[in-house]
Structure formats: C-alpha cells, structure tokens
Structure 1
Amino acid sequence: MAVWAIGSVVFLLATCDTATETGGTTAGLPDVVDYNFHIRPILSDKCFACHGPDNNTREAGLRLDTKEGAYQALSENPGMYAIVPGKPEESAVYHRLVTDDETYRMPPVSSNLTLTDREINLITRWIEQGAEYKPHWAFTPPVKAEVPQDDGNGWARNEIDRFVLQRMKSEGLKPNPVAEKHHLLRRVSLDITGLPPSPAQIERFLADDSPEAYEKMVDELLASDAYGERMALHWLDVARYADSYGYQDDDIRTQWPWRDWVIHAFNENMPYDRFITWQLAGDLLPDASKEQILATAFNRNHKITEEGGVIDEEYRVAYTIDKTNTYSKGILGITMECAQCHDHKYDPFSQKNYYSLFAFFNNTLENGLEGLVNSGPSKTPRLTITQDDLNGILNFINKWDDQEQVSVSVMGERDEVRPTFLLDRGVYDAPKERVFPGTPESVLDFDSTRYAPNRLGLAQWTFSKDNPLTARVFVNQLWALFFGNGLVSTIADFGNQGTLPTHPELLDWMAVDFQENGWDIKRLVKQFVMSATYRQSSQITDQHRKRDPDNRYYARAARIRLPAEMIRDQVLASSGLLNRTIGGPSIKPYQPDGIWEITSPGRGALAHYVQDHGDALYRRGIYVFFKVTLPPPSMLIFDSSNRDMCEVTRQRTNTPLQALVMLNDPTVLEGARVFAGELLAEQADASPDTWIQTAFKRILCRDATEGELEVLQQYYEEEQQRFRQDSGEADKFLQVGEAPLREDIPAVEYAALMAVIHAIYNLEEATTRV
C-alpha cells in the first residue's frame, strides 16, 4: 500500500478522536497487542505485497515489515513518518487506514483489500502501546515454557494435556469423556500401524480391565513392523517418492530400496537428526557405508526427464531447485521457493538467500540428461546393491528373485566446486552475481567456522540447538497425523503468511523436549497417544459446533477420513487377504483397462499396464506402483499425493467418485467375497446374524447395535431373495477378483453375505478414524 504526503489533511485528522475516526470500539481488544500474534498477520495479508521484503515491488520506498522501515521518515515527505510509536495521530499509516477519501485510503481500492474495524483498532492500540516490532515467532528458538499446573480434577495424563486444558478452559470448553475402548483401540491401531487391530488384539484388549491395558497395547503397536510402514507413508509424500521418472516419456525407476530403508529406519527408531542427516548428506559422512549412501536417494526422488531435445543444464538446474524446495518445505517448513525468481514478498528471504541455499545442492555429480533411449532405472550417480549387500549391511531390503542386483539414484559430490550464481528471474542461463553456500539470516546465520560449506554442513546447521524451525516443524507434522490438524495449520508454511499456532507454548515445549530426548520419534508418538487429549471421544456436541467447529482447541478427538492407502489396507487386513511382506519392488494391483494408454504417455516397461497376480495383489497400499504421470486412480480419488513434488499434508475431500470406488473397486468386492467365504466355511452351523456380527466387529472393532444388526439382516434376506430369483447374478457377483472361489458353499448364501460385508465396507465409519 503506497504511502505519500497527504498534506494538510493529516494535520486536520490528527486532532480527531481515534475512536470516532475508526467508527469502532476498543471493546474485545486484547489488553496488550502483540506484534506477532495480532499485527503481523494483518500487515502480511494486506500490506507486505507492496511494503514488504521484495525490493522489486515496494511502493513509495516504504517497508512495513521492519521497524527501521516503518519508523523512518517518508521518502516522499521527510517531515512525516509511517509509524510514530505511541502516537497514532502522528502516524501516516493510521490516517491512511481511517480516511473516507478513496484516493488516500490504504490498501488502495484497486487492491480489493480492506481492513475491518477490529483490525484498524488493533493497529491503533498497537501504535498507542509503542508499536513494538518483534522477530517472527517461528524464527526465534523455542523455549520450554513452564508446564501449567494440574487443575486437580485428574483429567490430565501428561504435559500435553495441561497445556491443552488451559487453552480449552480459556475458550469456555471442557474435554470430552474418554472414548469407548473399541473406538480407542481401532483409533490407536490405525494411527500407529495403519492397520485395524486383529481379532485377537480386540478380544485381548476388551477383556483387559487393568490400568496398564492401554499402554501395553500402545507398546505392542509401536513394536510392530507395520509401524514403520505407516510412518514411512508420510515421509514418502515429503520425499516425492515414485516408481517412475515423470515427464512425458515416463519410464520405470528403482528407488524402492530407499523406501525399504525409510521403513527400516522408523522401525529401528532412528533418531530424527540422524534420519535427516543421512538423507541430506550420507555420502559425505566419514567412511560412508552403503546404507548411508542409500539414504541420500531422498534427494534424487524428483522427476527426471528422458526426452530428446532438452538442454542438459536447464534440467540439471531444475533438479537442484527441486532439492532446494523439498528441503526448505519438508524439513524447515518455509516457502523458500517463492524467492526463486525475486525476493520473497512476505517473508525475509531474498533471492540471494535462495541461491545460497541452492548452492548446497549444486555440487552433485548429477546430469540434466543421461541418454535418450533405455538409460535404465537409475541415474548417475547411482548405488548398485548386490546379493552380498542383502546378506549384510542392507539386509532390511526385501530380496527379489528376478535380478541379481538393483541400482538406485543417490547423491555424489564433485571434487571441484561448481560455482553458483543468482539466476535472473530464476532462468537457468541468466546468471548474475556469484553466491556461496549459506542460509537465511532471518532463520539462523550459517557459521562457516563451524560448518563445512556442503550438504553435511547444512545438515549440522539444520540440527543446531539454535535452529528455530527443525524441531517445531517435525513435531507439528506428526501432531497433524495423530490429531487431525497441525498446531500450526499451515503445516508447510511457518512464515508470515502461515497461520499462528493455536498452542504456541505447547508447540515450543514439545519441540525442546523432542531435542532434549535425542530426537526420539517413538517417544514423541507415545507422548501423543498416551495423552488424555488423544483418548477423548470424537462425539460432537452443540457447544463444539458453536464454540469450536474446527476442533482447534481439542475438546474432542477428531474424526479423520483414512488416507487412501489405509482404506485399501483396512479391506485387505479385515478380510484376511493382506500379504504382510515388508518391502520389495512395488506391485500393480487391479486397475481399469486402458487408463495408462489413454491418459498417460509412457514407454519401455511402462508403455502398458501389466497387472500383477497372486500374493502381490494383496500387499499394502504403500507398495502400490506409483507412476508420476498417472498415480493409482482409486488412491488419487481418495486424495493421495501426486508425488510430483514435496507434499507435507494431504487435502481431504468428499466426492461422489469416492463412493463409486468403494462400490466398484475389485479389491473391495474381492475382500467382501473372501471374508464371506471364510465365515461360511468356518461357522457353517451359525446363523446369519452371527456371521454379520462377526464381520461387523472385525471391520469396525465393535458389536453392531440392535438397530444396525436388524438393518443388515434385512438386507441379507433381500439379497438372498434377489439371488434366488436369478442364480446367474449370484455366480457373476462372486467372480470378482483372482482369489480362489470356494466351490463348497451355496452361491446364493455366499453372494448374499458378500453383499452385506460389502455394505459394511461402504459405511462412513469404515473409512473414518473415529
């Protein structure tokens, strides 16, 4: 918003009463207006585009994102100041906000931006109180706040609860009761392992009335190999993992051994600082092992072109940009990519900052183009994994039968430093001044006396005790997985345009606690799920809808639609079809004919979709083959990541297509058929209500109510009647899927029970974590 001299108008307005000018009131305003939590969000949304960090778009020479810029005399009228601390009537900004003259009002009418009376009153009070500027909250190191006192009612189970309860009460809310045991068991099992509890776990947990029953189950789930698969699913989104290269000539690549390493790392509870350091710079560690080098495949998961006619340097730069953006978004939680072409418009990141960060990744041995035809499933530099490796240091990689060795694209550093230049407007062939490896000063200076100017130095800087972002960002990512939303809801953006944390003291306490306890991920997860906050019922009351519709204050548990992969896994696990093999090459399950050929160009091994058979059809969703130009369609409909770039959180949508998937996907229908066959074979003398109750409990982990059971029994009878009238329909219905069909069961009973189980899979509760 441009500010210039407004002459005598200012002095006439300066004598006016401020409450009259704004037409507002100070009622409802905080006693102390804080720059970070009250003022910065307003200025960032309404002012920084024209008066922020970007020199190229700054109007009238005025900066409002720094106190130096806001307090200095206006360049076009040296006798006036944008902000005079303590004196709104002498502050040009104030008068520009309250004037009725549209030619002087800020933001300008043409911007389509306006400030509310409350926002104007907040700025007025802030100026009256001294207009104190503060560093952005996320760019100051977290401090372990004092844990609030226990209120004595016995609700809080750990420190998390005390912070949550304090905020809850300030909003006029109180916690929900504890969730029923069956709901809690299903919730914690899905959250920790991505799978529903087994029938044995259900019976054991429901029968255990000891105070330790829940914690014992949590420990059991954390010790499961399925834990690593569930946690890896999130990290594959961050790392943009896929089984093909992307771009037009989309061919196969073999990065799956890195995926196996991620699962292994989570299961071994590798500390987060080591987990990230190996991925950023494992190849630069002293006497780097093959495992440490394999971890660097994280950096090489970006799209890679195999098209003819491209310019090598253009794509080499594009790959380096991708690495830079993935690091800044996925690990630091900042939008550095906005500074690729110009200074950031909202955050204190210059274009020079961007290319200084880019310089850490610019010295790789990687090429922009490596061969035009059949260049192979990995690119230089690559790591070749042999059978000896599988028998030794890389024994966590699932063995394969059809080849003796596999190669993975990894990182490797040039001996001679490649110079890095700031690129004019981000164009690869428009270098300007040379820059050197460095980090944004607004976050934390890169101390070249402590850290080497390479990726290993960057990793060490990332985990400096003074780095304000790393711990906060990861804690927030995991919080979102377990509680439905982040304490900072803009999970990928901790900058000025990001949302403020709902519980800043809690976020900082957990961030510091995470560091103090060795970056222990399993410990952090257990803190989450052992809390009373996590264990609440998800029942929504009228007060919740009125006071906290988005559940920002956690007075209830969140109902979360399951991720795409978990919906598949839920069907496979409950039906008994699930192949629990860990790791190995990705698999191609059922998919509608012709989709690849019609919608996604490809060549070589991916020119046509070749479905797998046998046990491979029943592996977990994390192992489904991911083609960048056409992700698995049923998973895409349920909001899986596109994996073409770093994604730290998935959107959740509700569309009719999702209902169509659940009604028609062969995996869902086949699961219902196999489950029905098992029940009819193993409980041959039981009644239909017993079969239905058994299926209901295994899928939803609870008994059906009397009303639910009555509806499902009626549906069973209706389906029986329909299939009796046309036995051919029953036979046709039972043919779905490749799992063997039980020939010793009457088709009508078989198909009718299959239809009922299929209906249970289609319940909203079946695809929701409640």
Structure 2
Amino acid sequence: MIHPAKIALIAFAVLTATVAQAAEVDFVRDVRPILQQHCYACHGEEKQKNGLRLDIKSEAFKGGDGYGPSVVPGEVEESPLLEMVQSEDEDLRMPPEGEGLSATEIATLTRWVKQGARWPDGVDLANLENRTDHWSFKPVTHPVVPKTQNNTWPINEIDRFILARLEQQDISPAGEANRLSWLRRVYFDLIGMPPSPVQVDLFLNDQREDAYQQVVDELLQSPRYGERWAQHWLDVVRYADTHGFEVNTPRPNAWPYRDYVIQAFNNDTPYNQFIHEQLAGDAMNQDAATGFLVTAAVLLPGQIGKDEPSKRLARQDSLDELLINTGEAFLGLSIGCARCHDHKFDPITQRDYYAMQAFFSGVRYGDRPIQFADNTAQQKKVETLAKRLDIFERQLARFEPLAHIGVKAKVTDAKLNEEKFATLQAKYVRFTVHDANLHPKLGLIEPCIDEFEIFTVEESPRNGALAELGTLVTASGSRTSSNHKLEHINDGQYGNSRSWMSDEAGRGWVLFELPKATNINKIVWSRDRKGDYNDRLATAYSIEAGLTPDTMQRIVNVPPPRAMVSAKRNVDRFKPVTTRSLRFSVQQTNSLEPSIDELEVLNVDGKNVALASLGTHVSSSGNKIPSDNHKLEYLNDGLYGNTHDWISNKQGQGWVELTFAQPQTIDRVIWSRDREGKFTDRLSLEYTIEVIGEQGASQIVANSDDRIRWDKDKIHPVSFSTAGLSEADAHVAQDLFDKISIVKKQITSAKRTPMVYAGIFTEPEPTHLLYRGDPEQPLEELVPAVIQSLGKLQLPKKPTEQQRRLALASWIASPQNPLTARVMVNRIWQGHFGRGMVDTSSDFGRSGAKPSHPELLDWLATRFVDSGWSIKQMHRLIVLSATYRQSSQITPKAQEVDSDVRLLWRFPSRRLEAEAIRDSMIAVSGRLNLKTRGPGFDLFKSRGGLSGFPPVTSFDEKGLRRMIYAHKIRMEREVVFGAFDCPDAGQSTARRRQSTTPIQALNLFNSRFTLDEADAFAAKVLTDVGEENRDNLSQQIRRVYRLALGREPNSIELNDALPVVQEHGLSTLCRVMFNSNEFLFLP
C-alpha cells in the first residue's frame, strides 16, 4: 500500500524500462514537456499542492509536505515521485484527473531518473521568488530627516517627513486646530475621557510656551492613561474573562493580567522589558504578565471529546493559539498560517512553525499562584510564625501519648458501650474518664455520661446500679443544670437531658456504692443512648471494682487510641531506650509499594539523630528502581516532599533500618508519606518500629495496633490527647494545642497568594513536525528554533522550559529584530491617528499593506529603541507634532488627491470607541467610580447551562467603573455599547471597525443605561448651578454644554435647547448631548 502522504507527488512517471541501452534523456527536450502537460497545473507557479513544486529545480528535488527528497538520482525505487504514476489504485494514481501518462512518457521519466535525473542549471521557466526580499524583513534603516520648502510649519522631525510627502503631491497641511479641539483630542487619545470645565479653563488661559507640553505630561502621569492604552493592547492579545466557544466557562483569575498591562503602561515599562515579562514574567517577579500566553479563546483537553485523539487535538489547538498571539502581537506575522503547510506568502516554513511552537511546549492553560515582586514582608512573617510553631510543637511533644504495645485501639460509641469481664463480687464500682473527644469548636471539654448500668449475675440479670434499688453515687465533681445532674446517671432514663457532666475538661470519675456485695460480670454505659449527641464522649477510661474503696481492682482499661496514620506527619513516642539501630517495617499500605518521605528519630534532647549528615547509615529490604525523586538516601536527608522520598520494591511491604554512628538514647520517631501533604497514596497503615540491642535482640517500641483504624475519607486526622496527664499538664497541653492550631492557620493565610490565569509551566513535551497539522500524524521531533529566514538563536544544550521562553523573548525584543520596533511604533501611531502607517497593523508580511511613510516608520522605530523603548516618549513626540495639531477641516484640493487622508494633510476625525463613550457618559454625569485594579464588574448575569448570558441593565457604584474593568465575556456583546464595534475577544482585533448602524443611535438614546446617566447628568447640573439657578434654564443649558463639550452654547444652540428643556426636562437635553457628534467624535 502506497503511503497516502505521497498522493500529491505526481509528475514523473515510472515505467519498468524495457530498453536497457537507451539514449541519454535530455531534460528540456524530453522531460519538461511531460511535466508541463501533466503536472504544472497543480504543482507549478500558481499552485503547489501538498507543498510540491515541479517547475523549479531546487523545489522539485526537495519534495513535498511530510517527506523528501522526492527524486533520488539513479534510484528509481527510492524516488517517491515516481511511485504515483504507476499505482494501480485510482485514488492514488497521478494525475488525479484525465488520462495518465503514456507508456512512452513513463519510460522516458524512468530512464531520466536512472541516468541521474540531470536537470541543467539556468533552464527553469520560472524563478523562485525570494520571500525574504520584503521591506519589513530587512534591517531597520536610519533615514535622514528630509528637507522641506516650508520651514515654519514643522515642530519636530515627524512633521518634516509628513510635509515632504505633502509637498511632493502639492498639498498644504490643514490649519492648526483651536486649543479646545486639541485639548479634547489629546484627552481622549491619552486617557479616553474628556477634560473637565476646570481643566479646559486652565489650558485656555495658560499662555506659557510649554502649555501643550504641560498638558501632555500631566496626562501621561495620570492613572487613567494606563487604563486607556491597555485597552488597545488587550484588543490585540484577545484578553477576556471566559474561555470562549460553546463551553465559554469563566476565567475568574484572568484579571491580574489586565491589571499588569495597565500598570506597565502607567510605569512606562520599556517595551523590550514588556515583551520579556509577558513571555517569561515568572523569571522576573512578574507572574501576572504571563497571562499573555493564555489570553486566547481555547477549548481545553477534555472539554470537547474525552478520547485521547480529541485531547491531543485540543492541546495542539491551544498551542496554535499561543503561537498566533505571539506572532501577531510582537512580530506582526501570521505564523499560524504555517501549521499545515509552508506559509503561502511569507518566508515561514512548516518546520519554522513547529520549531517556534517548541518554545512553548511546557506551557499549559490554567491558574497558578502569583508570586509578588516584593514578597519580603510576607516571607518574614512566615518565618516568624514558623519559629513560633516550632517552639510550641517542641513543648507539646512531651505530652504526646505513649505507644501501647499489645493493646488494640478501641473506639468508643456515643450510643452504647458494653464491657464484659469475669464474674467478681463487688460492692463498689468506679468509672474514671481519662480523656474525651474534642468538641468541633470548643476543643477539650467536660465529658458526659447519660446512663451507667452494672449488671448482676442472677437467674434474671438486672441493672444493680439503679438509684431506686438503693445504689448511691458520688463524683469527682459535677456541672449542674436542668439537663445535667449527678442523680441522672442512674435514674434509668436515657438522653442528653438526663445525664451527668463532669466539672473538669476531659476527665472525671463517678463511684457507685451498691446496697450489698453482689456478683457482677457486665457494665454498659453511654454518652447519649438516643444518639443525638456525640461530643463530650469518654475515649479513654478505666473501671475498678471491689468490696471496699481501698481494695478495688482494675477490671477494664481502655487507653486512649492514638490517631490514625496521616500522610503528612506521624509521631510514635515510647519510653526512652538506648540503641545503635532502629528498623521501621511496613506490613500493609493503602496502595502500591510503601513510601516514606522522611524518617526522623529524636533523642531525649529532641535532636534528630537519624540524619545522614550525623553519620547515620540507612539500609532497606529493597528499593524501587531509583529516579531523581525516589532514592533510599532521601529517607534521612532532612528534606521533605514527594520529590525526596524512599519507595520500597515490594507491594504493600518493606523495611528500612537506620544505624547510628554511636549509641543513642531515643524516645520518639516522626515519619510521613509526604510532609507537604500533596500525596496520600503508598501510606503505611500497619507497621512496627523495633530497636536492635547490642546483642542483636530486637525490641518492639511502637506499632500501629493502638492507632485508630485508617479511614480514607479522613486524609489528615488530628492527633491529640490529654489522657494520662495531670489536670495541670492537661490544661498546658490543651493550651499548646490550641496555639499550634492558630499558628498553623496564620501560616496558611500568610502563604496564601491570589491565583492568576497566567499559564502552568511543566516539563516541555516533545514537539514534532505534524503532517498537515494533524497531531495523529507526527513526523520528526524538532528542537526550539526561531524563523530561519529572520535569524538564528543559540540555546543551551538542554534548555529548561523557562530558558526556552526567555531566549525567545530576547530574540523578539532584540534591537536587531527587523519587525518588533516597527510593529509597536505603528500600533502607537494607529492609536493617535486611527490607522497605522501600515494599515494591516498585525500583518507586516508580504500579504499585508505597504507603509504609507516607510522612512518615517523606520525613523520612529530607531528613535523608539534609542529612547530605551519608551512608549510615553513616542506619545510626546506624536501629540506635540504639528501633524497632530492640525484641524480636521477638509480642503477640496487635498481631498481630491488623497481622499482617505493617508498622507495626513489634516487630522482624521473618528468616532470614539465603545469604552471611551461609556466612560465619558459616566464621567460627565459625575458618577464615575475611579477604583483601580482588582476583580472586575459584571456586564452580564451568570448563565444556566449553555444558554446565553443575560445582560445587566442597571448598575450600582461597582458597575460604574471604567469599562476596561468589566468582565469580558466572549461571544457576547454588551447590550448598549457592543453595537459600537466593541470586539468580543474571539480573535485578535488589531484595528477596530468603524460602522454606522441604526441600533447605535437607538441604544444611545433609549437604553436604560442612557436614561440613568442622563438623569444623573441632569441632577449634577442642578447641583452645580446651585439653588439660586433652580429655575434658570439658560444657566443649566450652559452647564450641560460645558460639562459635555467643554464650551458654552452659541445663541442658536441656546435658543434651540430652551423649549426642549421646558417641555421635556433637562435630562432629555442631556440625552441629546450624549448622541451629538461633538460628544462622540474626536475633533
């Protein structure tokens, strides 16, 4: 079966040559006519199906997509191109349509290959186009500022480049805009909101030479600047707060990236650093910055299709989005077009695409904790708390319960506990509580007993403890209430409301005196026979009986059960013993081979003598095949975590032995499966701890018998008991335990950092060239490399995941990269004039637009780099130029020559973006909430299932923040302002459209939002004019104009507005202002 990948490898026919001695085949005379007739239609200058081109020598021999070379001179059987024309399968035979090659043609091609496939140089009918011969792929030039005939108009170098082109076309620049127009223009451009009347008056009255400069500097220092310009960048990188597509699940932690971008613009972060931080901010204390890597809409593996091929496709799609974002945002290249084949226009091969993708092969979409740039205070707080915790734990250690050898753990029952024993004669019976369970909120509190029953040995056994039979009862102490009285303990009635309560936390005793000496053999007691309460339950107790109080013998002893084993930390305390070695043996685990993170052995001074650094040797029954994470020597290296542990080589069993450098007197062993608490498998459930004497005899000092049986639902149980302690010690231990609990919570809180949707970085997975972009058809493995036609990049031999991204960032941000500075300068220019010098601002490739002013673009790019990549310096240069200060008035002659204003003979007026319109409406109404940073506000309500998102129509203070702080929902347009070409972040928006539709006017006049803001605007006007002008409509109208447009109304406007306000109210005029071109357009 011929491989399907070779279907398109048509052309050279194969025929088993029957003529052994043939004349030499001439390529031009004999071979090319065959190729022209049968092959060039699909594999010539116009088309190159499957990446194969046969009209140029170098391309024909190179091969097509997924294989190569296509012809091996002298080797017919090794030349894939020759297989196709002789295939018997009609689906594989080439050409696919029409008659195939004749026998003579096939014989000719076969002889040609056998004779060495000679193809003379210089005979090709076409020339291979040099795709790198394109203006944007060439180094940035340092053009000389042109001279102009008019030397009075230019303010800076920008103007000379612009004017030189205008003079070539015999066009004069427009006159200078009036001060108010320039002020409103620069306010909207730099901060996205209009100036207040006070700010207008200050500028109009400022006669200083640097008045314009002062305004620009003030705006660039405003926090509002970053909010405005961050929106431009977020459009490009497709920022949103949901994943997109039909799933469209939330990204609740995406907002820190939005805040990072705002702050980066406000700080004038050098653009080359801005690039580094977004690609590798985790290496630069800027974790939120790498949100750039995962801004795109994506279906994560498993969201659509849980089978492995679907997951692989989803993974490949997510990497594709990442690479597209990087290529378009920073380089202005459509790299994604090379996923399935070589780029059709630009010098980007499919191999380039996957080599570039390898830089990101360790990046996965998801949340991770933010590591703040300055976390010194946080670290100090954690260190202080950790020291305090260590002190408390060392103090509590002396109260740890001793391990009881030969005792099985018993768990008491709140409803019923039965103790049977050999018959004995007794008149006195004492029940002593040594410990009780912990109350969920109050900790260790006073134990309770509902009913205590002593059964006699008779033909009909009965409860001899009943008060009605004459039995007397005394106690160590009692808390008395209507529910709890001593006499309730033997009144024959059940329930919490008829019980006895001790007056001492965790302990107490009751003594029963029977009417006479009686044979007994069973005792029954309960905390609450009805089962309503299970707190205050005695967990450790003893029962004594005898004929006199002084001669009683212990007949029942229930020691406190030690806590069930925990994956995080276990303590086995025993009486001091001197030994040279200790063995920890495992008999059962909860799964797989046992694993021990760290085995610590403490001497009587509290020092860990098991450490290898102290000369302690470790051996074992056998070790799982060692890896970087699991080695025997990790057992006592003093480091915690799953990456530093020992694993046995036997399922559920194994032992490790520690031999000390010299005899040690020890009393405690501390061990864990994973002290960090991340793993709970491989946990030792049944184990024995032995010490070995000098004669070789072993002694068991602790085992798991007296521990509560393991419960898989209680991963990290609490281990604490005051049993066997004096009352004073019990109080001390309880206090220490409470302090430890508090400090642990404080440490957890101090360590807790907010999450950010900024990518998860893992070990890079292999990157393969994929046949036709199909992850199910991987070809050779590739290493990270940049686009070959644009340069080379030297990487370490085995670069880490982070090193890959850092290296790529350095290459992109290099001053020698021909694209990076040009692309960003063009975006800045577009932000001020509505379109860039390159109209396709995210496509600087061969299919993109040519620059309108290539010399000016390169001059600005050079200036940009020389200024330290300062974006604010670019703003100053542009908005203070005479070009920017032009009026937007049209002159007929210039309009005829340059109707789309590409030569900038006037300022190109344009409508404000959706965000600027909304923000301006709230600003002039006086309700704008200037809160910065943090989670955004909702423009939509939560949806149910896969239904749409219902819009929010009325907003409180939280919803009156700037629109950049709104949660961005993909595939949904904001109900009012979405009509103003507001992108939904489904794809990159390098430049927003400027449409005009009826729905825009309807939304802006009749929506609930407009009505609310118009009412607020009117209320503000009434407040501003004061009570004395409550009925002065002219004064109110003037204030509306000042707030909305920055100027006074002329007499016609005033006369037109008066009847509107008289008949419909002031809020109607405010709505009219919101809909006026002067409010909505840059002047």
Fold in common (TM above 0.5) = yes
- Kept in 2, the 8 Å contact 1:386–1:404? The answer is no
Deviates more, 1:324-333 or 1:625-634: 625-634
1024, 1028, 1038: which one pairs with 1:685?
1028
Q: Return closer, same or farther for 1:348/1:176 CA change in 2, 3 Å cut-off.
A: same
Amino acid at match of 1:309: G
* Aligned position for 1:526: 876
CA distance in 2, matches of 1:551, 1:717: 43
- Show the counterpart of 1:347: 346
Structure 1 residues 386 and 60: CA distance shift in structure 2, 3 A: closer
Residue 519 of structure 1 aligns to a residue whose secondary structure is coil
* SS of residue in 1 equivalent to 2:906: coil
**Cα distance in 2, alignment partners of residues 414 and 680 from structure 1:** 60
Q: CA deviation at 1:150?
A: 5.0
- In structure 2, distance between residues paired with 1:716 and 1:6: 88
Q: Displacement of 1:312 after TM fit?
A: 2.7
User: Match for 1:758 among 1054, 1071, 1074?
Assistant: 1071
Q: How many residues align?
A: 598
TM-score by length of 2: 0.52
C-alpha distance in structure 2 between counterparts of 1:354 and 1:200, whole Å: 55
Please list, as runs of the form range in 1=range in 2, the aligned pairs for 1:423-462 lying within 5 A after superposition. 423-448=770-795, 454-462=804-812
* Aligned equivalent of 1:643: 985
- Kept in 2: contact 1:245–1:303 (CA 8 A): yes
User: Matched residues in 1 for 2:351 and 2:358: separation?
Assistant: 10
Report the alpha carbon displacement of residue 624 of structure 1 after superposing the two structures with TM.
1.5
Whole-Å separation in 2 of the counterparts to 1:548 and 1:328: 32
What is the CA–CA distance in structure 2 between the aligned matches of 1:54 and 1:186, rounded to whole Å?
A: 54
C-alpha separation between the residues in 2 aligned to 1:634 and 1:147? 46
Give the CA deviation at 1:423: 1.5
Distance 1:612 1:681 in 2: 23
* Cα deviation digits, residues 565-600 of structure 1 (max 9, x gap): 1110110111111101111211124x6x99x56xx9
Please identify which structure carries the higher strand content: 2
- Is the 2:288–2:370 Cα contact (8 Å) retained in structure 1? no
Of 1052, 1056, 1066, 1:707 maps to 1052
Is the contact made by 2:979 and 2:1000 (CA closer than 8 Å) also made in structure 1? Answer: yes
Alignment of 1:236-255 (within 5 A): 236-253=234-251, 254-255=253-254
Q: Does 1:383 align with 2:369?
A: yes
Q: 2-side partners of 1:509 and 1:53: how far apart?
A: 39
Distance, in Å, in 1 between the alignment partners of 2:756 and 2:249 is 14
The 3 A distance-change label for structure 1 pair 350 and 640 is same
| Contact 1:715/1:756 (8 A) holds in 2 | yes
Q: Aligned partners of 1:348 and 1:712: how far apart in 2?
A: 61
Return the alpha-carbon distance in structure 2 between the equivalents of residues 450 and 157 of structure 1.
Answer: 52
Structure 1 counterpart of 2:922, from 550, 559, 572: 572
The aligned counterpart of 1:303 is: 297
Given that 1:48 and 1:64 are in contact with CA atoms closer than 8 Å, whether structure 2 keeps it comes out as no
SS of corresponding position for 2:226: helix
Matches within 5 A, 1:140-289: 140-149=138-147, 151-253=149-251, 254-283=253-282, 285=283, 288-289=284-285
The answer to whether the aligner puts 1:588 opposite 2:933 as a matched pair is no
Structure 2 equivalent of residue 294 of structure 1: 288
The code of the aligned residue for 2:291 comes to A
| Residues in 1 aligned to 2:376 and 2:914: alpha-carbon distance in whole angstroms | 31
Higher Rg of the two aligned structures = 2
AA in 2 matched with 1:463: A
Q: 1:716 aligns with which of 1053, 1057, 1061?
A: 1061
Q: 2:1007 aligns with which of 642, 645, 665?
A: 665
The yes-or-no answer on 1:552 pairing with 2:902 is: yes
By how many angstroms is 1:247 displaced? 2.7
1:497 corresponding residue in structure 2: 847
Partner of 1:110: none
Q: Is the Cα contact below 8 Å between 2:235 and 2:985 reproduced in 1?
A: yes
Q: CA deviation at 1:523?
A: 0.6
- Residue 1018 of structure 2: which of 646, 652, 676 is its match? 676
What SS class does the counterpart of residue 976 from structure 2 fall into?
helix
Work out whether residues 42 and 49 of structure 2, in 8 Å CA contact, stay in contact via their aligned partners in 1. Answer: no
Cα deviation for residue 421 of structure 1 reads 0.9
Q: Identify the structure with the greater helix proportion.
A: 1
Alpha-carbon offset, residue 689 of structure 1 = 2.1
Does the 8 Å CA contact 1:53/1:344 hold for their aligned counterparts?
Answer: no
**Structure 1 residues 57 and 633: alpha-carbon distance in aligned structure 2, compared to 1, 3 A threshold:** farther
Choose 564-573 or 693-702, whichever is displaced more: 693-702
8 Å CA contact 1:54, 1:342 repeated in 2 = no
1:414 paired with 2:408, answer: no
CA contact (8 A) 1:144 1:513 kept: no
Q: Is the 8 A contact 1:294 1:383 kept in 2?
A: no
> Tell me, what secondary structure is at the counterpart of 1:408?
strand
2:617 maps to 1:623 = no
Q: What is the CA–CA distance in structure 2 between the aligned matches of 1:195 and 1:454, rounded to whole Å?
A: 41
Contact 2:357 2:784 in 1 (8 A): yes
Q: CA deviation at 1:390?
A: 12
Q: Is the 8 A contact 1:51 1:63 kept in 2?
A: no
Give, as a single letter, the amino acid of the residue that structure 2 aligns with 1:347. D
Matched residue, 1:738: none
Structure 1 residue 632: Cα displacement: 2.2
Question: Is 2:976 the partner of 1:634?
Answer: yes
Using the alignment, how far apart are the partners of 1:665 and 1:412 within structure 2? 42
- The Cα of 1:342 is off from its aligned counterpart by 1.2
What do the CA deviations read for 1:32-88 (whole angstroms, capped 9, x no partner)? xxxxxxxxxxxxxxx9996379673666525999xxxxxxxxxxxxxxxxxxxxxxx
Distance 2:857 2:373 in 1: 45
Give 1:360 deviation, angstroms. Answer: 0.9
Query: Could you list the runs of 5+ residues in structure 1 that have no partner in the other structure?
Result: 8-46, 66-130, 368-378, 394-402, 720-751
The one-letter code sitting in structure 2 at the alignment partner of 1:297 is G
Compute the displacement of 1:279 (Å). 0.6
Shift of 1:558: 1.1
Deviations 1:245-285 (A, max 9, x none): 223232222211111111111111110011110110122x3
- What secondary structure, in the 3-state scheme, does the structure 1 residue paired with 2:139 have? coil
- 3-state SS, counterpart of residue 781 of structure 2: strand
SS in 2 for 1:532: coil
Cα distance between partner residues in 2 of 1:473 and 1:535: 24
Give the 3 Å change call, closer, same or farther, for CA 404–697 of structure 1 in structure 2. farther
**CA offsets per residue over residues 499-518 of structure 1, 9 Å max, x none?**
11110000001001111111
CA distance in 2, matches of 1:577, 1:235: 27
- How far did 1:209 drift? 2.2
Native 8 Å contact 1:491 1:648 kept in 2: yes
Counterpart of 1:44? none
Return closer, same or farther for 1:200/1:663 CA change in 2, 3 Å cut-off: same
Q: For the Cα contact (< 8 Å) 2:254–2:758, is it kept in 1?
A: no
Identity rate of aligned residues, in percent? 35
CA distance in 1, matches of 2:172, 2:52: 47
Secondary structure of the equivalent of 1:535?
coil
Instruction: Compute the displacement of 1:681 (Å).
Output: 3.2
TM-score, normalisation: structure 1: 0.72
SS of residue in 2 equivalent to 1:215: helix
Residue type matched to 1:586 in 2? G
1:543 aligned residue = 893
Where 1:342 maps in the other structure, the secondary structure is: coil
TM-superposed CA distance for 1:648, in Å, is 1.9
1:763 partner letter = S
8 Å contact kept, 1:48–1:346: no
One-letter code aligned to 1:264: Q
Query: 1:454 is paired with a residue of what secondary structure?
Result: helix
Q: CA deviation at 1:543?
A: 2.0
In 1, Cα distance between equivalents of 2:28 and 2:899:
45
Where does residue 637 of structure 2 map in the other structure? Answer: none
Q: 1:285-336: CA deviations, max 9, x gaps?
A: 3xx42xx222111112223436363433222211111010000011100111
- The 1-side partners of 2:776 and 2:194 are apart by 53
**Cα pair 1:383 1:410 within 8 Å, conserved:** no
| Counterpart code for 1:331 | F
Q: Which amino acid aligns with 2:914?
A: A
SS of 1:434 mapped into structure 2: strand
Deviations 1:331-370 (A, max 9, x none): 1001111111111111121111111111111122x26xxx
